Amino acid sequence: MFLDEVLKEKRTRVKEWKSATPVVQLKERIKDVEKRPFYSVFSKRGSKDVKVIAEVKKASPSRGLLKSSFNLEALVSAYNEGGAAALSVITEERFFLGSLDFLTTVRKLTKLPILRKDFIVDEYEIYQAKAYGADGILLIAEALEKTQLTDFTALAKDIGLDVLIEVHSLKSYEKLSGLKEFLLGINNRDLFSLKVDLSVSEEILKHIPQQQIVVIESGIKDREDVERFVKLGVSNFLIGTNLVLSQDPAGLLKSLIGTLA
């Protein structure tokens, strides 16, 4: 299964990182990283002010390399122009061809808050995210135990990182009871089959309290998809593949947000 494979790979990679750069060095580096607000950027549920976390994504497990000529600078420039509320940077190396260095580069190219999107399995990666310039981190509920979600969220907040916790099922959402001040990402992609179904979010939303800030992830292609969820009281979205594949990501982003003249 994909999730099991990527987590196994990630644990091996973390051991290598720890050997090369002890966590004490990361803790020293984070003192110089200024925090950009991430959590507070997103309005409460029910707002019709659509906000998009636009993703820097070089490849995906289901599609492979998304573009033969991946231009990081041009993509970030398009996201700035298109009106993104924040950027998501995939740093997973094997399956998404990401890099921690993407975080550092992107931070220099935008004033927007940046989310490190990865399969975080160890506290080390939280310090690492901050050291490389992230303002928030993704935690995947399916990949972590409840105690890890609690501890990782607390550590992130302690060092100045906001948290987006991603769920793919109602069962995973139940792990989050008791946690506060996090963005809830509902992902329409099945982590095992990698298939996308927008009805996944629609069903889970029926059980989410109105005060919880929600971000819809995966499968959003056009304004019609956006409006489908705005009608349900959700106006925050994380969009990657369709923006990266677009010949005009800035124009598509404006269309999705609803600002295209």
pLDDT in tens, 136-193: 999 999 999 999 999 999 999 999 999 999 999 999 999 998 898 999 999 998 777 7
Structure token digits, residue 145: 């135990």
Q: What kind and span of H or E run contains 90?
A: strand 86-90
Confidence class of residue 108 from pLDDT cuts 50, 70 and 90? very high
Q: Which domains does the chain have, with CATH numbers?
A: 2-31+47-257 (3.20.20.70)
- pTM across the whole model: 0.95
Structure token digits, residue 88: 């998501």
CA 164/CA 141 separation, integer angstroms: 10
Among residues 172, 227, 174, the alpha carbon closest in space to that of 198 is found at: 227
The tens digit of pLDDT for each residue in 2-31 reads: 888 899 999 999 999 999 999 999 999 998
CA 98/CA 102 separation, integer angstroms: 7
Angle at 16 between CA 191 and CA 128, to 5 degrees: 70
